[in-house]
Amino acid sequence: MTTFRHGEIDIAYLDQGEGEPILLIHGFASSKEVNWAGPSWVNTLVRDGRRVIAFDNRGHGASSKLYDPDDYHTTKMASDAAALLDHLHIGRADVMGYSMGARISAFLAVEQSARVRSLIVGGLGLRMVDGVGLPESIAEALEAPSLADVSDPQGSTFRAFADQTKSDRRALAACIRGSRQTLSREQVASLAMPVLVAAGTKDEVSGSAHELAALIPGAKALDIPGRDHMLAVGDKVFKQGALDFLAARP
């Protein structure tokens, strides 16, 4: 496992392949392995001739666990991504995020636009600007004594996922409470790099991909047919759409 130190936090990451760099930022309760390696994103992008960098967000995977919600402000999480690029001496990269990772990616693109060559927003549509995708009740589900004690269907889904990935549920609860920031419509309209917005047609978490894309000059929307929030991430339509987008962007 490879790590680097950002302030007082250890961030675990992988760096594979050669070519133009692409930075991958995973979703809530996931990790670089679960979000990107397992669904073959890393292999797909490496085969496409790209250098693939993915990391575990703070509170996730093998990175440091923090229990104060203030430590999970989206700006701070975006700063971890920028620090990794600095650590690897990469001035500019394509960036792709999924769900919470898409929000982090967008914050990075707004705050440090020169670092982001293009942006792929997966699993997050209009709720980028119009309310966060995941309700705070999920934090309560994570803190419940057991999965059997969770009655909320969405909370039950994420609690089961957190148990499956053997996540630190206390850290995740702090994360979901602390990372609930949105961007304004003016901020997303300022994005000047090529942008692809992709979401499953059965995704009830993300909000409309087409409505978000309409706010960003030149952005394109991609429907991932028949997929919900959990299943869209590894879909072949998403992968091919991302490859086509990366091949076409300037």
Q: pLDDT tens track of the chain, all 250 residues?
A: 799 999 999 999 999 999 999 999 999 999 999 999 999 999 999 999 999 999 999 999 999 999 999 999 999 999 999 999 999 999 999 999 999 999 999 999 999 999 999 999 999 999 999 987 678 899 999 999 999 999 999 899 999 999 998 899 999 999 999 999 999 999 999 999 999 999 999 999 999 999 999 999 999 999 999 999 999 999 999 999 999 999 999 8
Domains identified in the chain and CATH numbers: 2-128+182-248 (3.40.50.1820)
The strand pairing partners of 23, in sequence order, are 53, 95
Please state the length of the chain. Answer: 250
Burial of 146 (0-12, 13-18, 19+ CB in 10 A): exposed
**CB of 183 within 8 A of CB of 195?**
no
Q: Model's pTM, two decimal places?
A: 0.96
Closest to 197 measured CA to CA, from 182, 215, 179, 184 = 215
